[in-house]
Amino acid sequence: MALNGDVCVVTGACGFLGRRLVRLLLEEERLSEIRLIDRQIKLEDVQSFNDCRGDTRVRAYEGDIRDSAFLRRACRGASTVFHMACLIDVRGKVEFSELYGVNVKGTQLLLEACIEENVPSFIYTSSIEVMGPNPSGDPVYNGTEETQYKCAVKFPYGKTKREGEERTLRANGELLLDGTRLATCALRPMYIYGEGCRFLLGHMADGVRNKNVLYRLSLQEAKVNPVYVGNVALAHLQAARSLKDSNKRNIIGGRFYYISDDTPPVSYSDFNHVMMSPLGFHIQDKLPLPLCLLYLLCFVLEWGCAILRPFIRLVPPLTRHLVTMLNTHFTFSYKRAQVELGYTPRYSWQEARKGTIEWLASQLPEIREKIET
């Protein structure tokens, strides 16, 4: 079902995934209005959509996701909220209070704004990290939403994303002020790659510093299934269309969905090599240390940083959680999203790889110049 004539709100609209979703909405739907919410929005951010906006009004709402009055203004009269804004932290750089404030409190305030402003549909961008891997590194092979997994999420980012997701799904069916009910769902994408991925840029910069040799921090057998950003954006659009469909709304409301595509399963480190080998990069054959010693080194680094924390806040370059995540086989199927949301990946692996490599190639000269100077 089309969203024609609707008003959509996208939080985190200037981010990697947010930009792709906004462009897709403008290209695929005849919206009345789309509202971009972010902490900072430049004029060029809004103008970047001029080539595809058509008659849709694009409005910028710059503010803090923890400001309830701001959120109410942004949601007033809206039909669908895509909640993508969050703080991503895989190394423990961000204070937990800040992560919790944005990823949990911000989500709760946004849900409350939807209830107060009679917004009927809410789609939460979750993360594979709400599932794990757990500290034991137990693997998952082609998991589904029914997969039972002993998960004790300890890392702050995963904990806050999990609580944000739980609050979203619990809000499904909440009574709105106009007497109708809120419908919510959550999407759990795998590691998202594509044009604009800052993690790929970071790995490429490290490779440049290491004389065009990429670091290996993942065992080859620890496979994951990355997902292309264009396909993740499409899954969000399909979720919004499904929530608008009265026949599907009661089926998907309150549920979460894994979002992957047909990108071949591969380890994180080897995925970097697949993307960067055409640009002249090689990769280390082995981990810098045997895995057990790598865990021990991380423990010592974490312990040392904890001892010094009352005097100075240091962040270890590598943690046990990150090593576990990078070295656990963790793959999931998108079949339930295909059946219930009508999601089928639009971009093939060949198309996604080609586009990403071309984008990386365009960024490489600037990265080399910065590092060499």
Closest CA to 225 of 118, 331, 111, 96: 331
Separation between Cα atoms, residue 267 and residue 329, nearest integer Å:
8
What b/e readout covers 68-99, taking b as 16+ CB neighbours within 10 angstroms? bebbbebbeebbbbbbbbbbebeebebeeeeb
Q: Which residues are catalytic?
A: 161
Residues 6+ apart with CB under 8 A from 336: 144, 145, 257, 258
CA 294 and chain centroid, separation: 27
Separation between Cα atoms, residue 205 and residue 212, nearest integer Å:
9
Question: How many other CB atoms sit within 10 Å of the CB of residue 272?
Answer: 26
Separation between Cα atoms, residue 281 and residue 370, nearest integer Å:
18
Separation between Cα atoms, residue 348 and residue 27, nearest integer Å:
19
Separation between Cα atoms, residue 361 and residue 372, nearest integer Å:
17
The tokens of 29 are what?
């739907």
